[in-house]
Structure 1
């Protein structure tokens, strides 16, 4: 367990001053996805099983020639425009995503080259918590005096890890969680602020569960072979882990900050399926009207999920409004971040 208090009242804080997101144009319905999987595999799938089990009606998917960096660059340009900044105004660029363009170099350099920035550029990767981890990394660099202004971007294309032609029921079951995936990008600009900003960060990590799910290919264990490029995981086991340990970090946040659910304008939580989100509400007591629900029409967007949700509500926020970010990532890690609009 690691607890990180973002700042005391007398210290400056890092705040989010601009937000943007990017969704690919191509929409893939669960019905169409199920038809293609059934046709490619020859497996007899029950009618509308993908939609009924996940609650996901549709999701977005990148086209040929679109990559993780493509979505990140589009979101980044919009965020910079909304902040009234140029790329050369940045000191730090963090690409924070579960998806990368390639194993090496860091995708941050691909994004930076497209933007024309000269900032210090690096990648941060931690499954679906990558974007929140990237924001926390940028916050720490700003508070340490290492950067004045930072751009954190994500580009997620998990649709490319979906097994569209399982060879049997076993492969279908192992890769079923992949059918929830949707692609998206997001970006935020951070700088030091005198009021509001990121006021609390907390994390909890249970790495003994790292085998529960993931994409094993691309590293030194499985550097080659298409078989290792598909997402594999036990969704039920992963859900059980989060149910067992996920509420404690929320309880600590509420005790430490003195904030209750009614003190937050919105609660942004990583969303895997509709039943999973329903279970989160049941376990935590978070009022459903505080949630920004995206999963039915956009699916599981990996680390971009919270960025897309933030972009959807950001324009309607007033100074003093607080948001709670709740990140859930394979590995397994849970993360909370309290942000107050300046």
Structure 2
């Protein structure tokens, strides 16, 4: 039986390493006297990385892709997908810029679905590989969400609307997908959209709602409301997916989930009655890196030796919108 599998994965982090204290200093420099240690108390002790001002989203995607392609100098890439919440421009699609920088000649397109952009790209790529449209698909992502953090004109009454952004970090990833007849790879994929909650978490600028309002280019939203909705809708969806795949939660050896705070992995463990030690924790290392967070967690699990041949892994995506995705694969 033919399956799609992630043959290789690489990531890229910018040079500037930022801690909570430095973020608080930037907030104070913007005119708001934030309490020292508040970020650690609210979102957890963490590090994140910020791209340079002249470092583009495409640059981070390309840096990760170059590391990957170094291992496959003779591999012909048939399709290139750029998948991210971020982008170099509104038009043209960022994939064109990535293609030019990598020197590729294959077709390509952008796929955007907030923090589930990469997980959705894996699902789309899987369908294209299984129907023999392509043999080798390269998925790349670059996230520069540090540009959407609000540091100025903050008031006590509204800081909560922008608080989640203080955990944002920048990163790039690249994944090579192909097929195999071995007993490994992706064997279940499903995602669901709950669009009635789209207004809970947003960056409003750059689209037709606010095309010329620069003040709307920062993150805002009801993150506490979002957390409550996720608590309500995600567990039954994930449990249904596990059952539909013919498994129990105990059959899953590791969960690589999108992480937005120190409490994300605990929430997943609690609501699924799952061993918290079997959830890959990366938030303290990289912060919330948007669509690159799930693949980074998966790569980290490989680097740390957390996975052995035959293990079953869940990629659990959660994104503004709201969108939830579940992907199960055998290593």
Q: TM-score, normalised by structure 1?
A: 0.92
Question: 2, 5, 13: which is aligned to 1:23?
Answer: 13
Kindly report which structure 2 residues correspond to 1:189-268, keeping only aligned pairs within 5 A, or say none: 189-195=176-182, 196-268=184-256
Q: What is residue 99 of structure 2 aligned with on the other side?
A: 112
Q: Which is worse superposed, 325-334 or 261-270?
A: 261-270
User: 1:163 aligned to 2:150?
Assistant: yes
Q: What is residue 92 of structure 1 aligned with on the other side?
A: 79
In 1, the alpha carbon distance for the partners of 2:59 and 2:45 equals: 25
Q: What is residue 259 of structure 2 aligned with on the other side?
A: 271
Q: What is residue 63 of structure 2 aligned with on the other side?
A: 74
Query: Gaps (5+ residues) in structure 1?
Result: 1-9
Q: How many residues align?
A: 328
In 1, the alpha carbon distance for the partners of 2:144 and 2:133 equals: 31
User: Do the aligned residues in 2 keep the contact of 1:156 with 1:301 (CA within 8 Å)?
Assistant: yes
Kindly report which structure 2 residues correspond to 1:120-139, keeping only aligned pairs within 5 A, or say none: 120-139=107-126
- Local SS of the residue matching 1:283: helix
- Local SS of the residue matching 2:199: coil
User: 1:305 aligned to 2:293?
Assistant: yes
Q: What is residue 90 of structure 2 aligned with on the other side?
A: 103
Q: CA deviation at 1:173?
A: 2.0
In 2, the alpha carbon distance for the partners of 1:86 and 1:67 equals: 27
Question: 299, 310, 319: which is aligned to 1:329?
Answer: 319
Q: CA deviation at 1:86?
A: 4.4
Q: What is residue 32 of structure 1 aligned with on the other side?
A: 22
**CA offsets 1:113-137 (integer angstroms, 9 cap, x no match):** 1111111110000010001001111
**CA offsets 1:297-317 (integer angstroms, 9 cap, x no match):** 311110100111111122534
**CA offsets 1:92-131 (integer angstroms, 9 cap, x no match):** 1000101111101111111111111111110000010001
Q: CA deviation at 1:247?
A: 0.8
Q: Which is worse superposed, 256-265 or 320-329?
A: 256-265
Q: What is residue 173 of structure 2 aligned with on the other side?
A: 186
Q: Which is worse superposed, 309-318 or 264-273?
A: 309-318
User: Do the aligned residues in 1 keep the contact of 2:84 with 2:115 (CA within 8 Å)?
Assistant: yes
User: Do the aligned residues in 1 keep the contact of 2:27 with 2:33 (CA within 8 Å)?
Assistant: no
In 1, the alpha carbon distance for the partners of 2:174 and 2:8 equals: 8
**CA offsets 1:40-99 (integer angstroms, 9 cap, x no match):** 12x3322210111000322111012112111111111112223x2447x11110001011
In 1, the alpha carbon distance for the partners of 2:264 and 2:9 equals: 27
Question: 56, 69, 89: which is aligned to 2:45?
Answer: 56
**CA offsets 1:264-318 (integer angstroms, 9 cap, x no match):** 3321000000123322221122211211111123111101001111111225343
User: Do the aligned residues in 1 keep the contact of 2:265 with 2:279 (CA within 8 Å)?
Assistant: no
In 1, the alpha carbon distance for the partners of 2:62 and 2:274 equals: 34
Query: Gaps (5+ residues) in structure 2?
Result: none
User: Do the aligned residues in 2 keep the contact of 1:56 with 1:297 (CA within 8 Å)?
Assistant: no
